[in-house]
Structure 1
Amino acid sequence: MEISDQYICELLSSNNKMGMTLLFKKYFKSLTLWADTFLNDMDLAKDVVQDFFYAIWRNKAYQSLHHEKLASYLFVSVKNLSFKKLAKKDVLRYSMDIEYFDQVSEDFESNKEAIVVEIMKEIENLPEKSREVVKCIYLKGMKYQEAAEELGVSVSTIKTHLVRSMKALRLKSEHLGDFFLLCFFQNK
């Protein structure tokens, strides 16, 4: 049985701890996956989301939550916290990455055709809807709204398929290393 955001907010506004428990159970997994799309570190994503829920409780922010905007508030907040977490990472730890990136870029240019063929094979192995979304967004260069209209689904469905597809492609194409990112994002 799906617990409504309205019910959760009613419990929270009356200082009922069950509201926080239900909020956590309903949103923890999806917020963690959302944070992981930015952080690429599931453990760190879990930490960010747990800290966020703790802050809501500690600061009594739950008292001002509204059910109409609850999901967007949660997702935007977790996205912002994820970006803050990324900004705090030690810059010096990644200082060697510039040389590495230059080398990867040179390797990509020399093997571009073979890499693109390999990535296209991986895209073809995706489930049908996911494959269609990836093709619309990355190969046809459509905006989310345009892809949603063409495929007859909502923008949030497009985003969900895209996140899942990109994670799957990164995992499946691990042997391609950073070439995958270069291929699709060098002109984005």
Structure 2
Amino acid sequence: MMINLKDDSEKDKYILELFQTSPKEAFRLLFDAYHMKLCIYAVQLTDSFEMAEDIVQDFFIYFWEKKYYLKINQNLRYYLYLSVRNAAINALQKNNMLSMEELSGIDMGIPEESIDEEEQEERNKLLLEKLQKLPHQELQVVRAVIMENKKYKEAAEELHISVNTLKTHLTRALKQLRKEYNLHSLFY
């Protein structure tokens, strides 16, 4: 079955339907479509790429093991972002990084439901411009880890740097992107 990849709501509907007949294939599509978007969203909430990645990874494992995909009868995208938001809040509170008072001052909005194609193209252009302004090493790290979805170890070996150096470059790059432009709006 061919799905329109530009229409997120149709893709989400297809994924939910596919969970009924082929859960593994549906999970792979879901993971590919949302893993990095959810990581970026979680970074905004936690200010830590490592913590964000752990939160999203744990969410996907829990989602799969508990078969929550069978219980979704609403908007898939909203469910995913809400779940990650709640997991981020729990992680921040568990690590004593966030009190209830601080929580009220943080914008934890869930990304808007849809963006038209023209607006998305404009945002993609802006993102590319911002990426080109990053130092060479940071750009390479962002490309490997975020755009190519490589594991830290694999990307570090490819770039001939340590995993810790890679994490440092990634953190700097994301902070710079967040500082220069509203990172949240670039990806949604």
TM-score range, shorter chain: 0.3 to 0.5
Query: Normalized against structure 1, the TM-score is what?
Result: 0.48
Larger relative contact order (CA 8 Å, sep ≥ 6): 2
Greater fraction helix = 1
